[in-house]
Structure 1
């Protein structure tokens, strides 16, 4: 499966962008915060779904709103070219798969396309980053080995997480010497409950003796009850007779007093009515005296009645006070504005740098005039810029020409001599003759030593081979050499019977002796002469080109200087009319015209302000003539309205006081009249009460009321005593026992009752205690409850033991499965990982092995095994990456996914990174790599990869980001 292109509608910071990928290695490069991880997450989430909104993983919804999602264009070996589109919809997004035959699919289609892999399984094999490697340094040996094992086998990381979870839950359930785990707590509770059950059984055995004592107490209680009832009846009779003695005596005393004070009539509710009338009468008389005093005091305070016309005139002037202050404020504001405008005017004149302000004020500052001047200044600035550019070009060309002259001088110092040139010219012809001479000498010697036929065949074969090579490469010298060898072979064949070397052979030997061993020196000399000639020619041609360019630039420079001088002369005369001594910069021309316009506008504003100020000051003078009638002379202008308000408030207070006092005096007169009428009525009611009681004074009235009250009290008391006597039936009026005798008899009976009650109380108390104990023994289900609770706890303990056993079985099953993985599945991955690990470390470590206790070990070149924890951080990461790549290679047929790598090689040195590049380039023939990085140096190594620069929104090698 290969990713051809991604189209981002909206994802994180990216919006409406398209990125094209190639089959091999693709480098996603960009600085921090450029959006590399966002692109990596876009690929993963489009294929496997957006995270839930409450998930810890980011959803990368568009920052600026808009459509959420995009497309991933794929080429799959089974399904062909297809497009996976996922947009916002349900929690994981709405996905649609478009196949090249025009059909479409949904979740089932994407599941088939990704070979039923989920996101976690995909990221555990085909997507990893430097974040997966950062925790290696803090891992112990077991954790590191398990991490490496999970990287080399799919699904192991899930099994390891389950194993850790089961072991933790087992620890929460039971520990051999623990106290807090649930099973340890339940075991301690069961032991304590066994002790409580034994105590309950001992308590139940005391029931029968307690029941026998209860029956004996009931018999004793019956006997004591009969005796108590008899004494109680005797006590009630004595009490009733004792109660009658004081009642009889009290009735006789009350009858005698009633005969002395008997009064039969008095006004109903007389005292309350009299006191209420008397209170109201006193109150009204006091109020009447107070009203008279108030009227007298108010008459003394009464002021004169002020003039209404004067108040109205002052009110009119006070109502117009705001316009007075507005006039004064306006005059002050105008003065301030005039002062500010004068200051600004001077500042503008200083900034303009002109002596004649009248000329500036009369100057034409229209927009047309400004545009005309601006265009001329722009042309002048453009000429300056063009001249500066030509100066830099001429300077650069002069530097280049000077460098070439220096290079020519340096080259001249190393120039070959005439003798060397002559030797170089002669060497090509000498080289061919030397080869012929060597071959001729060799053939002669071979004929003399071993016979001619074998050498002849060798020379003929060599000549044929050399001629073929020369013809193919179009090197006729080589063909000529082959012909020479063939001629030599023919000559040898003719002289194959000769015994002594011929004259030609002697000359050939002398020639070989003269030039043999000098081939390398002469070839170097030839190359030196040729290189010098080529360099000299190149430098001469470059110098001529630079001189031509300089001539053209100097001619153009002179033309522009003349135009500039003409333009400056024209502008100088133009700006003298404005009072300026030099031409301003084009950048400040707009500001110059703006300041002149502001200056002219200020002059107009100053004239308007002077007219407005004179008008308002006339109004102020007229108002002062109106106000002077009501205030003392000599009051400052700023205080006249304050004095007027004081005068107005004084007059207003006098008028209000006069009206208020007049109204209050009238009200008090009316209240006095009402009070006198009420006093007269109350005195009449008081006399009527005296008449009804038959008295003439207040003292006699109260005495009559006291006698009437006592008569009623005595009568009621006698009636109460008779009622009490009648409640107890017939009273023996003739009994002659005294109160003391009766009290002595009552005391003796009460003592006997107390003794009987004490005995009965002890019996009741003992019986009650026994009944409670026996009832508790009969009705108390604490033993059953404790027994039941004990059984519940036993069941809970059994359930916890069952849960512990299940987790123990799962842990053992996982361990067994891990052993099986190590024995069956892991070796296949390890074989490929060993080769990669050995290549990455340059042969320092030859293989990776798993020990009997499940720990990874690296085998060195000397055969020694090193625990993985002892390796450096980078070497641990290389082992991890080797296992990941080996697993991805093993999954090529069943899961041919691209590999997404997020800068996992940052800890590698340059040598090992180069090896990693070699491995990736080799694997890229079968796998597509998408490598994310922010390091400038890394992308310099990748010469055969597609570089996609996210920071610049573009690519240097054809990849497009739209």
Structure 2
């Protein structure tokens, strides 16, 4: 975990305050009462919860101004950024937001618990927080107490437990001293009085021979009952152990199976070989893709004409004549426009002539013979038009135009012939009619000449179209209609342009093809080299091909996962449990059943013995006739009870003290080799290389200087003792970093260090901050020169 930013709504003296921690090493610098300890308490409260109770011994840091109690912390954990928000001291509200996904967890506490892991507020203070009060306490310890504390520093909460153990030890010594002769301690006095009372009891018993037999019977029964109780207690303990073994037995069998698999594992492929082979595979894949791409390009860039030799011959014929054909098409369009224009003029002249002629005919009576002649001429014109439409070899439009012109000419001639017979008394002047007729004939002559030229041009175009159709050119439509000729020429022109463009592209592509072929051969050679090296790697690990290599990697990954599972399983067993399960020849369930059966039998036997004891006690009372003996026996019983109660209290306190020390010793020794290794490195840095080694033999710590002198803890100065303690504390935090990583927080912890020691401590903090975040609260101005501006936050 790395804390990146702090925002305080209201907490103690801090109100609406924000801090940014951009560096792994952050120094909060300020004078006394600047709010350093308040800020440290805020971090603790945000992570583990604010104080829920008020008292004169608990500082709840109520805001000095009116503000919401709480704030925010932004932190980085396992490459994910989170924002943690807490509001209010009581009925606290908590929010946890994943800043990468903007997910606001609806139930944030389990997520936060998973992030914090096993770390609580108390363990956080004991492992990751160092303050001046703690080091001041170290200065007051005796060498033996310091040694005990260092030896048990690997056990979380060891300081508090050591105090409890010391308390029990002292209380036990107050109760009883085994070698004391004066009997002043409570148990000693009870024991002496018990001995005197028993002697008196024996004296009385000697006077009652019958009493002895009864007493012996009672004693033997008591012994039998005590033995049976002990046996029952033993069986109950065995049953508890067997039930625990029954729970662990399936896991144990699975663990043994994994151990057998682990024994058969063979590590064929190391990490270096794996990385190199994967690099070669990557190169091979890229080369194959590149070669395939090159082959496709070389195939598609094969320089060959899609038109063929026949097309080239056709192009050779068409290309020189294309300009002439284009000109012929232009002449056709111009001639067609001229014919259309003359046809319009002719129609206008014909209409005018018809109007004048019709008007003159209405003014006179036409003889029947003249009317008959006009009809004949009209019929003749119609027949001529039909013949032209049927037999002339022109297009329908041209034939239609010619038919109209011929019909008009025949009809006009007929009218002119008839008009000779018109009388001189006509009102419309004949001069006007003659002028109109002259104009009509002039236009007719021009139209006939243009039509003849157009017909010749159409015949020439049709011959060219037939030649084009015979060529059967792709994308050029066949046609025998002259009006389609421009479109055909346009298609031919486009086809020729495409052909010329392909010829130019083929000329340019030949140079590229030579380069591609050389590049292709180089890549093939590189691929062959990569394949040979891959085969060399495969041979070095005794494998044949890539599939076997990947199968072996998968197997090794499975083996690694199984080994991890095995280590996790092994941590769930004690060494004694493993030995016990290994020694079993009978299923645990059968042992539980037989033990339950034996326990039931023992309880039944206990009930019978207790019933028999009551009967014997009644008989014993009958034997006893001396009241004094009863009183002495009661005194003995009372003294025995008091002594046993006191002895039990003594044993409980003594054994508890021993158990605490032994438990702390076992917990600490699991981590102690790693702690000593790191503590040696840090202690050497803090002492400027004066001390170079820390040794631990028979639970005794000794220190070795650079001149190979040995020092005990009793021979160290108070300042050096503090340095040694700090080295052990920081080493312990580093050892736990593999399990859970928290910032190391120091609150003015080195006020007793001189300038040289403080400078070394600052250097050690900078070294630690390369791996683990360090937050340092201090009022010492030397930090202004020992750290950079980016690392210092001035309060």
Structure 1 or 2, whichever has the larger Rg, is 1
Q: Give the TM-score normalised by structure 1.
A: 0.36
TM-score by length of 2: 0.43
